[in-house]
Structure 1
Amino acid sequence: MLPWMVLFSLLGLLALLIGGWVRPAIAFVGLAGAYLVLGLVDTPTLLAQYTNPALATLLLLLLVSLALERTPLLDWLSQRLLTGSERTATARLMGASAVLSAFLNNTAVVAAFLGAISRQQRIAPSRLLIPLSYASILGGVTTLVGTSTNLVVNSFALGRGGFELGMFQFTLVGIPVALLTFGVLLWRARRLPAHPPEDTEEKLSYFLAADLEADSELVGKSIEENQLRSLEGLYLLEIEREGRLLSPVGPDEILQAEDTLVFTGEVGKVQALQRFPGLTLFGHQADDLLATNLVEVVVSHESELAGQTLQDVDFRSMFNAGVVGIRRGGKRLEGQLGQIPLRVGDCLVLAVGSDFRQHRNIERNFHLLSGSFKRPQLKRTESMLTLAGFAAVIGLAALELLPLFHGLLLLMAGLVAGKVLSPAELRRRFPFELWLIIGSALAIAQGLESSGAAALLAQGMQTLIAGYGIYAAFVGCYLMTLLLTETVTNNAAAALAFPIAWTTAQAFGADPMPFVMAVAYGASACFLIPYGYQTHLMVYSPGRYRISDFIKTGLPVSLTYSAGVLVLTPVVFPF
């Protein structure tokens, strides 16, 4: 009975992840805690999973990447790739993204190119952004450090098998598959929609401006006293006063004669302003002023805003900025913006205050698309030393002269000592949720093993493919992982699929390595739906895509990628 209860608990976890009812970290930690209470794992075993050496290596790599993403190299490349014909620029962009993503965090690579692609006017961003995202995945599957998914699988391999995967163990399958898939992706890129870049005039359609006459009874009273904070569908964003822009506007701000009040929200509900005497609408006199403090951003996968409304987090105080508009994919959201739960990948147009760039939580929460604000960059000497140090760490690990964890730890110490990274920045950007998810998933895998649920799953797999042999089991594990990664996140898919694949290999008496690789490659095979992979969400709204755009492009890409993996993996890693 106990194995079946454990299996039902896994189904419940999967339902929560697919439905998005709770954050993945809460779901995984909750189930791991339940297994602890039920005695399926003991306290020392549970705690040991959170200190898994391979997991620690993943965390170190992500923290070191904070310095790497601030090097001028990525911005320098982004300015030089988009030249020549559209086809040439697309191929060049895909190649650079793939090569960089083999060694750098692919989220940082896509973030660096995202702004340059969105700001340029020559090629429609929608023709470039999906190829950029897909190419970063294809580059990531070629090395151990290319994607967090490979390092997650490495954590499980160390925890269950007692061995670690090599730096270039993924390469013999990864590179041929990437090259094969590149051709298909370049062909499909020509069929992507060509949405023109959104210009400033279009963004200003979010605004509704009204003039305050000198004899109005609103003059001399605060925003709160005039009840301008509780309008149905409209929100007072800024005040233009004597050529200055007051943004954001606090409730105690006293109105003065000839102020220009700038509202946002459901601009169609202009009638809400008719009850205020002496407040008259006008044309577009404030457009030039408003355009100077507009910043367009994308909500990042690290952001604490996901699932929250603007009112919940008090967005104005948190960032000294007001949200002018929200776009999700190709759809501009309407209604009361303050009450719309935000999602990762949402595109926000912000009217920012003068000290917006001083807020330390900007980089964690947003990827910058346009505007005068630029993320801080390393100096040339710092950049060269950082890149050289990282290259040395990778090279020594590949030659098995220095373990990757040791090298990253030394590099981290050097970056902190050289003040390239600060302890405060490391605290802010620590991937706490990922640590909880992977540590808890390792504990859940232990519970599967001790309860007999993993053996039950392996028996079910054997029964399902009876008579088809071990290759069918391998294909089944890959397809199971692919299905999971399209419905939940890639790291969660690897965490759920690995115990099943490992136990299946044991049940057949086979070498577990091809099954381990099936999980690694399958967890990165997210090409059909934008919600399963963070770089897809990053480009979803800036490209003004629809889900059908991902499906039309991703289906031939996914089929080609899968065919390559299923053919080459058993050749490189025999059963």
Structure 2
Amino acid sequence: MTAWLVLLSLAGLLALLVSGLVRPAIAFVTMAAGYLVCGLVDTTVLLQQYTNPALATLLLLLLVSLALERSPLLDWVSKHLLQGHPDKAVVKLMGVSAVLSAFLNNTAVVASFLSTISRQDRIAPSRLLIPLSYASILGGMTTLVGTSTNLVVNSFAMGSAGIELGMFQFSLVGVPVALLTFMVLVWRAGTLPHHHPEEAEDKLSYFLAADLERSSELIGKSIEANGLRSLDGLYLLEIEREGRLITPVGPEEVLHADDTLVFTGAVSKVQALQRFPGLKLFGHHADDLLATNLMEVVVSHESELSGRTLQEVDFRSMFNAGVVGIRRGGKRLEGQLGQIPLRVGDCLLMAVGSDFHQHRNLDRNFHLLSGSPTRPRLSTWESGLTLAGFAGVIGLSALELLPLFHGLLLMMGGLLLGGVLSPSELRRRFPFELWMIIGSALAIAQGLETSGAADLLAGGMQAVFTGHGVYGAFIGCYFLTLLLTETVTNNAAAALAFPVAWTTAQALGVDPMPFIMAVAYGASACFLIPYGYQTHLMVYSPGRYSLNDFLRIGAPVSVAYSAAVLVLTPIVFPF
């Protein structure tokens, strides 16, 4: 009975993750605490999971990456990649981002290229950003440090059987899979939409809400009489009045005090509202807005704003900035601006104060698309030493001369001593949520084994694939992980799928390595839906993509990737 209850709790956890009603960290920690209270895991075992050596290595790598993100190398590379013919620029961008993502955090690589791609107007960003995101995944899955997912799988492998995966163990299958998938991606990249920045008439560019003050001269006059029908680059979409929406807005509609006028339009056209007295854009007078610094940002996957509204977080006090527009891909958002729950990947147009850049929480919450840099870059010698130190750590680990954890810890000490990183920055950017998710997931995996639920899962897998042998079970574990990574997040997918794959291999009496690799490669196989992978969310709104864009490009990429993994993995890692 206990085993079935544990399986039921696991199904509930998955349902919560898919629904998005609860943040993954909260869901995993709550379930781990429930297992502790019910006696499925004891306190010592639970605490050991949060100090798992592989998990500690992952956290150290992410913290060291904070210094690598500030290297001017990525900015320099991104500026030179976009020269030449657009088709060649796409191929160069994909190749370089894949190589860099094999050794640097792929989120940092995409974030560095995102700003340069969004600012240039020679090649439509929509032609570049999906290939950038997919290439970063393909490069990241080829090494232990290329993506957090591989390090998460390494954490589980060490926790379950003391198996430590090598730096380039993933490359044996990962490199040929990446090359094949890369060719398919190049073939399909030409079908991406061309959303040029100069298309200012695009009505879905931004969602802007302007409040009408009681003293405004516009009150009592019609839309036509106020000249609100003939705006340069902006379109009056709807009016919110006393809790109801008036849409479409007719020319004879008379304005009332406290109306909220909802516009859509391009970033550069906000000043068209300057000539209308008594309009306030989320707390800013329209005529004052021209004197402020307009900045466009993307909500980061680390942001504390995700799932919360601007009013809930008191955005203006937190950042000394007012949000005057929100954009989410090509989708028009409805409702009051301050009451829209934000998502990772949303583009925000902000009017910022003079001390905006001094706020310490900017780099955790935002990726910059336009405006001035929010943090200082490393000097040339600091950048050189940091990159050389990281290369040395990776090389020594690959040669098995120095454990990766030891090397990263030494490098962290050097970065702190040299002033490249500060303790306050480490506190600010420490990946608490990832730490809680993985530590809790390791404890949950222990609970599955203790309760007998893992054996039930393995028995179920055997029953499903009876007559198909070990290879059928291997395929089932891969597609289970792929389904999870498309519907939840890649790290949560690895955490949920690993216990199933591990116990299935144990029950079949075969080498668990191909099943471990099935989870690792399956958790990185997020190509169909933008919501399961952080780099997809980062490019979703800047590229003005729709879900169909990801499906159209991602389907052949996913088929090629999966076919290559399923064929090569059992050859390289025999059962």
Question: Is the 1:234–1:266 contact (alpha carbons within 8 Å) kept by the matching residues of 2?
Answer: no
Aligned counterparts of 1:110 and 1:296: Cα–Cα separation in 2: 17
Distance 1:266 1:472, change over 3 A: farther
Aligned to 1:530: 530
1:351 matches 2:368:
no
Per the alignment, residue 497 of structure 1 pairs with: 497
- Once the two structures are superposed, residues 128-160 of structure 1 have per-residue CA deviations (whole angstroms, 9 ceiling, x without a partner) of 100000000000011000000000000000000
Q: In structure 1, the residue corresponding to 2:367 is in which secondary structure?
A: strand
TM-score for both structures, normalised by structure 2: 0.87
Q: Give the deviation of 1:262 after TM superposition.
A: 5.0
Q: Report what 1:231 is aligned to.
A: 258
| Most deviating of 475-484 and 332-341 | 332-341
Q: Does 1:35 align with 2:52?
A: no
Deviations 1:234-278 (A, max 9, x none): 69xxxxxxxxx9xxxxxxxxxxxx9965522699xxxxxxxxxxx
- Measure, in 1, the Cα distance between the counterparts of 2:354 and 2:454: 57
- SS of 2:97's equivalent in the other structure is helix
Classify 1:48/1:213 alpha carbon distance in 2 versus 1 (closer, same or farther; 3 Å).
closer
Give 1:92-111 correspondences, 5 Å limit.
92-111=92-111
Instruction: Tell me whether 364-373 or 306-315 shows the greater mean CA deviation.
Output: 364-373
Aligned residue runs from structure 1 range 8-87, under 5 A? 8-87=8-87
Partner amino acid for 2:120?
Q
Q: Which deviates more, 493-502 or 201-210? A: 201-210
SS at match of 1:331: coil
| CA-CA distance at 1:359 after TM superposition | 0.6
Note closer, same or farther for the CA distance 1:215–1:542 as it changes in structure 2 (3 Å cut): closer
Q: Which whole-Å CA distance do the structure 2 matches of 1:332 and 1:351 have between them? A: 21
Q: Is the 8 A contact 2:149 2:491 kept in 1?
A: yes
Q: Report how many residues are paired.
A: 524
How far apart are residue 196 of structure 1 and its match? 1.3
Aligned to 1:137: 137
Q: What is residue 122 of structure 2 aligned with on the other side? A: 122
Distance 1:111 1:416 in 2: 24
Looking at structure 2, the residues matched to 204 and 25 of structure 1 have their Cα atoms a distance apart, in angstroms, of 31
TM-score normalised per structure 1: 0.87
Q: 1:264 aligns with which of 270, 281, 288?
A: 281
Q: 1:112-191 counterparts in 2 under 5 A?
A: 112-191=112-191
Shift of 1:293: 1.1
**1-structure distance, mates of 2:211, 2:13:** 48
SS in 2 for 1:326: strand
Equivalent residue number for residue 252 of structure 2:
none
Look up the equivalent residue of 2:170 and give its one-letter code.
Answer: F
Secondary structure at the counterpart of residue 509 of structure 2:
coil
**Structure 1 unaligned regions, length at least 5:** 217-229, 236-244, 246-257, 268-278
* Distance in 2, Cα, partners of 1:206 & 1:16: 32
1:209, 1:260 within 8 Å by CA — same for their partners in 2? no
Q: Percent same amino acid at aligned positions?
A: 74
**Deviation at 1:205?**
8.8
CA contact (8 A) 1:326 1:332 kept: no
Distance in 1 of aligned mates of 2:201 and 2:188: 32
- 1:211 and 1:10 map into 2 onto residues whose CA distance is 52
The aligned residue for residue 270 of structure 1 is none
The letter for the 2-side match of 1:426 is L
Structure 1 CA distance, aligned partners of 2:414 and 2:110? 26
**For the Cα contact (< 8 Å) 2:212–2:258, is it kept in 1?**
no
Specify every segment of 5 or more residues in structure 2 that has no aligned partner in the other structure, as ranges.
219-256, 263-270
Q: Deviations over 1:157-215 (max 9, x none)?
A: 00001121000000011110000001110111100111111678987994869999999
- 2:372 corresponds in structure 1 to 372
Asked if 2 retains the 8 angstrom alpha-carbon contact of 1:233 and 1:266, the reply is no
> What residue in structure 2 maps to residue 540 of structure 1?
540
CA deviations on 1:259-308 (whole Å, 9 max, x unpaired) are 965522699xxxxxxxxxxx9xxxx9878x35x61100000000000011
CA contact (8 A) 2:206 2:326 kept: no
Q: Deviations over 1:57-96 (max 9, x none)?
A: 0000000000000000000001000011111000000001
Q: Is the 8 A contact 1:212 1:259 kept in 2?
A: no
1:373: how far off?
3.8
Match of 2:424 in 1: 424
Two-structure CA RMSD over aligned residues (Å):
2.5
